[in-house]
Structure 1
Amino acid sequence: MKKIILTVAAVFAFGFANAQSGDQSGENFGFSKEDIFVEGNLGFSSSNDKNTETKVNNFSFTPKVGYFLADNFVLGVQLGLGSDKTKVSGTDAGKNSNFNAGVFGRYYFLELGKRFKTYADAEVNFANSKYELGPIENKSNGVSAGAGLGINYFVTKCVVLNFSLRNILSYSSSKPDVAGAKSTSQFGFDLNGNVANPFATGSFGVGYIF
C-alpha cells in the first residue's frame, strides 16, 4: 500500500508541475457525451519472502474501448491478459495464465483542478485460467466481478494518463475444466486490490479520446 500511495503522489506532482501553462490558458479538459475512449492498462507486482525463499511475479494487461453515454459516464468492453509465476528456492513452483473478456462501466464524480478527473468503476468478466507445473496442466473457467477507483490526468485534450486500483471490492467463481468438478468462489474487500481476481492490481495506463 505504501508503494501505491507514493506512486499516486508522484503522479500528482508530475501533473501539477506540467499543467500550469495549459490551465492558465483557459483550456478545458474532460469528456463529452458520444466520445469514444480507448485505453490500455499495465499492472505488475513482485514479492520475495526470504523466510520461505518464495518469489512471486504478477503481470497484467487490460485494453478497453468505451462509449460515453453522458459527459461523466462511459460504458464499454474490455479484455484481460495476466500471469503469475512462483519460484521456491530458485525452483519453478507453478505458473498461472489468465484470460478474460467482459464489460465495464465508469462514472466520473470529482474534478481535482482542470486536468485531474477521479472515477469509480465496475466490471463483470468471463474468465479462463491455466495452471502449469512441468508436465502438469490444469484449466478452469469462471466469472468475476469487481469495483474499483481511479484517476485520469489529461496530458492534452485527447491523451489521458490513468492510474487505477481495480477490484477493491471483488467476487470470483471458478470451476476446473474436468468432469464432476465443483466450483470455488471468493469474495473480498481489499484496498490493495488482490483478493479474488488475478487482474486485481494497481495499474497504469494511457487512453485516447476520439
Structure 2
Amino acid sequence: MKKIILSVMAVLAFGYANAQDKEVKEAKEFGFSKGNIFIEGQLSFSSSKETNSFEGKDFEEIKKSNTVFTPKAGYFISDDFAIGVQLAMSSSKEENTDLITPATDESKISGFGAGVFARYYFLNLGQRFKTYTELGLAFGSSKKRVNSVETNKIDGFGVGLDLGMNYFVTPKMAISFGLSNVLAFNATNDKDVVNNTESKTNSFSGNLNLFNNFFDTPTFGLLYKF
C-alpha cells in the first residue's frame, strides 16, 4: 500500500511539474520578451448624414466622412518596456448641400504626422491579456481645402498618455485596444492662407473617468510580434 501511495504521489508531482512548465512556456509565448519587435496598425472610419428641414420641407443636407490610419513599430529593450516610432495619416470630407438651390460646398482635410513612443506593460490578466501605458510625442501637419481651394494649413505637436491592452489570439498575433488621450497636451498653429492670418492654440486635456473614456475614445487594431 505504501508503494502505491508513493507511486500516486510521484505521478501527481510529475503532472503538477509538467503543468507548471506548460503554464510558464505559454506565458512566454503569449507575451513579449527582450529583443522582440512588433508592428501594430489601427484603422478607423466614420461617416454620417444629416438632413435639416423646416415645416416638413428639407432644405439642407450634410455628409461627413473621416478615415485615420496609424501604424507603429516597436522594439523591446526589456521584457516589459518597448520604444518605437509611429505614423498617422488622416483624411476627412464634408459636403454641405443646399437642397433649395441646389448647390454644394465641399471641404476636405488631409493630414500626416510622425512621432515616437515608449510603452510599459504593467499588468497581465491571465496568459493572453497584456495591459500597458504609453507615452507618445508626435508632430503633424494638415491642409484644408474648400471647393478645391486651399484655405488653411495647420501645424502642431502633441504629448499624450494612453492606456491599452493586447489580447493574443496566437503567440504571434494580438488584437489591440486603446484608450486615447487619457492625458494630453497639444499645441497648434492654424494659418489662414486666404486672409494671411494665424491662430495659435495650446490645450491640455485629461479624462480619468475610464468608464466614459471606454466608450468615447476607443481604438482597435492588430499587432504582430517578431
Normalised to the residue count of structure 1, the TM-score between the two structures is: 0.75
Distance in 1, Cα, partners of 2:113 & 2:163 = 20
* Residue identity in the other structure for 1:189: G
Q: Does 1:123 align with 2:136?
A: yes
Q: Deviations over 1:27-67 (max 9, x none)?
A: 22111112111111112234455558544322211111111
Relative to structure 1, the CA distance from residue 72 to residue 102 in structure 2 (aligned partners, 3 Å threshold; closer, same or farther) is same
Which structure would you say has the larger RCO, counting Cα contacts within 8 Å and 6 or more residues apart? Answer: 1
* Residue identity in the other structure for 1:187: F
Q: Secondary structure at the match of 1:31?
A: coil
- Which moves more between the two structures, 141-150 or 51-60? 51-60
Distance in 2, Cα, partners of 1:193 & 1:140 = 28
Larger radius of gyration: 2
Q: What is the match of residue 184 of structure 2?
A: 170
Q: What is the match of residue 204 of structure 2?
A: 187
State the 1:176 CA deviation. 3.3
Distance in 1, Cα, partners of 2:51 & 2:184 = 29
Q: What is the match of residue 33 of structure 1?
A: 34
Aligned length: 180
Relative to structure 1, the CA distance from residue 185 to residue 192 in structure 2 (aligned partners, 3 Å threshold; closer, same or farther) is farther
Normalized per residue, the structure richer in helix is 2
RMSD of equivalent CA atoms: 2.5
Distance in 2, Cα, partners of 1:84 & 1:193 = 22
Q: Does 1:77 align with 2:82?
A: no
Structure 2 unaligned runs (5+)? Answer: 1-21, 53-59, 99-103, 208-212
Structure 1 unaligned runs (5+)? Answer: 1-24, 195-200
Distance in 2, Cα, partners of 1:180 & 1:139 = 11
Q: Secondary structure at the match of 2:77?
A: strand
Distance in 2, Cα, partners of 1:193 & 1:74 = 27
Q: Does 1:105 align with 2:93?
A: no
Give aligned-pair identity as a percent: 46
Q: What is the match of residue 96 of structure 2?
A: 88
